[in-house]
Structure 1
């Protein structure tokens, strides 16, 4: 069907390759090829970037994290656990490094980006437990990392936004670490696939109903019994009280649009301070795919400003 994209985005849409995760190995190879065609990311000289392995969930392998922090000696900075997107089956820290580094520079924060295990090789709960283990490690090593524990947040994009919402639920229900903020950027939070936007957008760029179906099938695994955990699909949570303040982003021509809006509304109804930003004319991931356009720059600026405000509370 025809979509009325922002005028600056229409030429970008015409050039985007079709993403099809019915063959996950091929889709992963395609993403790597697309990355190689882009200019290499050059991080700001003001940042120190290092990788290390940390203890994973009990009984599971260690988890790699990438620590991004300003290279001065200042302590007591805000901290954020950042979770990349990819429909639970694609993506990695390196492919999302520009976003994580941008948050570190823009908010003056220490960012810990987590290399969680991917489905279908590692279905739920492996990915979210990896992310929660990374949050616990970040809190336990806050002094070493120069993080103020009163300003610790979690955030993510797409599937990473869904995982961030799930980590916030886990942190509440397991008694910590305490979070001051959750950034849910175009989050994937509902496995029921029943919203109007999900049903309507079957051929939108980068993400659509066919990919969403395959994504949840891979993430929930072959033993899915229909009783989905809220830590897998946060929209299933019946009680959102006591969660940290939230910033939720949705795009007009994104199958995830309505579930993001509904989750933001439910957070508000539960008494959680929530800022919901919807961007007309945009599509799933357009802020990255069409970087440099006016609407994409505004989305990134709005996100950075929201993070700064959260850390200033």
Structure 2
């Protein structure tokens, strides 16, 4: 992979004005501040902003009452958190319709196929490269598959810190190559899509780049769906400036995740396009939809990657959910229901 020779951060939009910049007498409402947001043409769901922000406040209060975790984590602590699904979340329900299989070479995948699919989504789960699994979203992925008339192949890639970079990207690339070769025989379709959330979105972009640069079947994948991914491991301004707000992800937690995923590297080394796709040549990649919330430390990552995708001659749609935090689609919110509808609509139509 090669860099473009230009600084992707140069295109960063100016930050939206905060309430703290005004006196109490003239302080605008949240809706008024969002009306002047530099990304307002991409903003979605302003009509349910009060609900979204209220959820954020409740989440912060609950998170502030728990001791903070520091990464890299002790292996015993890491194992415990994995067993407890990051500490207290209700374990997801595994669907009996899903089936696990091991691909040639050893990569494990989980297949969800409601029947008669018109395409196949290669799904890469999130979890900061250190948490999560292919069976962690059975219900959501089954509903997505049903709505978008797809089969879903979710990759159980190796996790850091036991298996740091490039183990995860290698597993995802292997699964992508297998699917490109066997989709028609296995599922009766050659229409392939790729997508993921958070670390999974990062891995989805790296997989496309690895296929392209390795003269692999990148054109077999007709679209990418990328939700709130970290595309600059050297840290975009929104990552650095977010601070310690306990909204699922923040500056400190991102730094810890990067240390586990790419140990022994500093900011300059993390600008390597093999680690940070924001610095890669993005030519030749399929159309993409990127989604992120305004209260996500990874906001700049999606904004800048969408611009770079377009600058490279590709098609990129950017949707910014007003008031939403990182990983908001994990929670029962109005914006979650709407985003799932937009996601399934994009994937149902993409690449036809």
TM range (shorter): 0.7 to 0.9
Q: Is the 8 A contact 1:18 1:205 kept in 2?
A: no
Decide which of 296, 309, 324 is 1:282's aligned counterpart. 324
Pairing of 1:154-165 with structure 2 (within 5 A): 154-165=194-205
Decide which of 277, 282, 296 is 1:234's aligned counterpart. 277
Q: Which structure 2 segments of 5+ residues have no match?
A: 1-17, 21-29, 31-51
Considering Cα pairs closer than 8 Å and 6+ residues apart, tell me whether 1 or 2 has the greater RCO: 2
Pairing of 1:215-234 with structure 2 (within 5 A): 215-222=257-264, 226-228=268-270, 229-234=272-277
Counterpart in the other structure of 1:59: none
Once the 2 structures are TM-superposed, how far is the Cα of residue 155 of structure 1 from its aligned partner?
A: 0.4
Asked whether 1:6 is paired with 2:6, we answer no
Counterpart in the other structure of 2:69: 20
User: 1 or 2, which has the higher strand percentage?
Assistant: 1
What is the CA deviation profile of residues 144-169 of structure 1, one whole-angstrom value per residue up to 9, with x for unaligned ones? 321422x2111010000000011111
What is the CA deviation profile of residues 12-52 of structure 1, one whole-angstrom value per residue up to 9, with x for unaligned ones? 44335666352264355335425875275264x8xx41101
Alignment: residue pair count: 297
Counterpart in the other structure of 2:193: 153
Query: Residues 65 and 18 of structure 1: is their aligned pair in 2 closer, same or farther, counting only changes over 3 Å?
Result: farther
Once the 2 structures are TM-superposed, how far is the Cα of residue 101 of structure 1 from its aligned partner?
A: 2.2
Counterpart in the other structure of 1:63: 107
Q: Is the 8 A contact 1:128 1:232 kept in 2?
A: no
Q: Counterpart of 2:248 in 1: which secondary structure?
A: coil
Structure 1 length as normaliser, TM-score? Answer: 0.85
Q: Counterpart of 2:319 in 1: which secondary structure?
A: strand
Which whole-Å CA distance do the structure 1 matches of 2:94 and 2:145 have between them? 14
Query: Residues 210 and 136 of structure 1: is their aligned pair in 2 closer, same or farther, counting only changes over 3 Å?
Result: same
Which whole-Å CA distance do the structure 2 matches of 1:93 and 1:174 have between them? 26
Runs of 4+ in 1 over 6 A off after TM superposition: 1-4
Which whole-Å CA distance do the structure 1 matches of 2:335 and 2:329 have between them? 8
Q: Counterpart of 1:302 in 2: which secondary structure?
A: helix
Query: Residues 21 and 310 of structure 1: is their aligned pair in 2 closer, same or farther, counting only changes over 3 Å?
Result: farther
What is the CA deviation profile of residues 208-233 of structure 1, one whole-angstrom value per residue up to 9, with x for unaligned ones? 11111111121112367943432321
Query: Residues 95 and 240 of structure 1: is their aligned pair in 2 closer, same or farther, counting only changes over 3 Å?
Result: same
Higher gyration radius (CA): 2
Q: Is the 8 A contact 1:21 1:27 kept in 2?
A: no
Query: Residues 281 and 139 of structure 1: is their aligned pair in 2 closer, same or farther, counting only changes over 3 Å?
Result: same
Structure 2 length as normaliser, TM-score? Answer: 0.77
Q: Is the 8 A contact 2:129 2:199 kept in 1?
A: yes
Q: Counterpart of 1:7 in 2: which secondary structure?
A: helix
Query: Residues 39 and 207 of structure 1: is their aligned pair in 2 closer, same or farther, counting only changes over 3 Å?
Result: closer
Q: Counterpart of 1:170 in 2: which secondary structure?
A: helix
Counterpart in the other structure of 1:271: 313
Counterpart in the other structure of 2:340: 300
Q: Which structure 1 segments of 5+ residues have no match?
A: 57-61
Which whole-Å CA distance do the structure 1 matches of 2:226 and 2:70 have between them? 23
Q: Counterpart of 1:11 in 2: which secondary structure?
A: helix
Q: Is the 8 A contact 1:55 1:133 kept in 2?
A: no
What is the CA deviation profile of residues 236-260 of structure 1, one whole-angstrom value per residue up to 9, with x for unaligned ones? 21x2111010010111111111111
Pairing of 1:113-262 with structure 2 (within 5 A): 113-149=154-190, 151-177=191-217, 178-222=220-264, 226-228=268-270, 229-237=272-280, 239-262=281-304
